[in-house]
Amino acid sequence: MYFVYVLQSAADKKLYVGYALNLEQRIQAHNQGNVASTKNRKPLKLIFYESYTNKGDVLRREKYLKTTAGKRALKFMLKNTLCS
């Protein structure tokens, strides 16, 4: 299984979108500071994920969620989560 996920930084409330084969291990790597793009934004909280059986599908979804339209869709889908 492949996962696309969204993390939220407790420090600045910004979102990070990524993909992983092992979701738990990847989130742990983020929170241990082993991921360059998020090491200064710890702690990070998983707020959304989707699973896919095909790597091409998950990469396409990750790419979309990083676009302006994808960010807008995420903010709409996670409206209550992001307000709390």
For residue 53, the 8-state DSSP code is S
Going from N- to C-terminal start, the domains of the chain cover 2-83
Establish whether the linkage from the previous residue to 43 is cis, with ω within 30° of 0: yes
pLDDT in tens, 33-72: 999 999 999 899 999 999 999 999 999 999 999 999 999 9
Q: Give me the architecture of the 2-83 domain, per CATH.
A: 3-Layer(aba) Sandwich (3.40)
Other beta carbons within 10 Å of 66:
14
pLDDT of amino acid 84:
63
Distance CA(68)–CA(38), nearest Å, equals 20
User: In the structure, what pLDDT confidence band is assigned to residue 83 with cuts at 50, 70 and 90?
Assistant: confident
pTM of the full structure: 0.92
